[in-house]
Amino acid sequence: MTSRSPDTHRPLSYALLVHGAPYGHQAALSALRFARALAQRGHRVATVFFYHDGVHNASTLMSPPQDELSLQAGWRELHAQQGSALLVCVAAGLRRGLLDEAEAARHGKPAANVEPPFELTGLGQLVDAMFSHDRLLTFAP
């Protein structure tokens, strides 16, 4: 007979690292579906970090057909339901034309296409998530 520790079934805190662009690869959709499944099991996705082409998930300019899932709306819903931080690598975002109001002003650009709850941030936030959450899962092409 083996004994279980009392916290065996405690809810876990997850961080997701998304490398895949929306609609260009299955990675972003898989990450969103995984996050929803975790919530159904009582766990929490505390942080989603978008990196490389995954930063495109934060673009307010995406306009999928009405009969298709809006991944950006799905991420916003995750934030609203679980309070998940939606962090976008600032360096990867700037390279790919994703700017919030502050970065657009700093670089002299006429518009921004990243709005809250998405937040441009550095890799340090990813490192913090690696150490502060129970699990980190990567979704990449």
What are the residue numbers of the active site?
89
How far apart (Å, rounded) are the C-alpha atoms in residues 11 and 57? 27
Residues in the chain: 141
Q: Which one, of 16, 15, 21, 18, lies nearest residue 96 by Cα? A: 21
Are 74 and 39 within 8 A, CB to CB? no
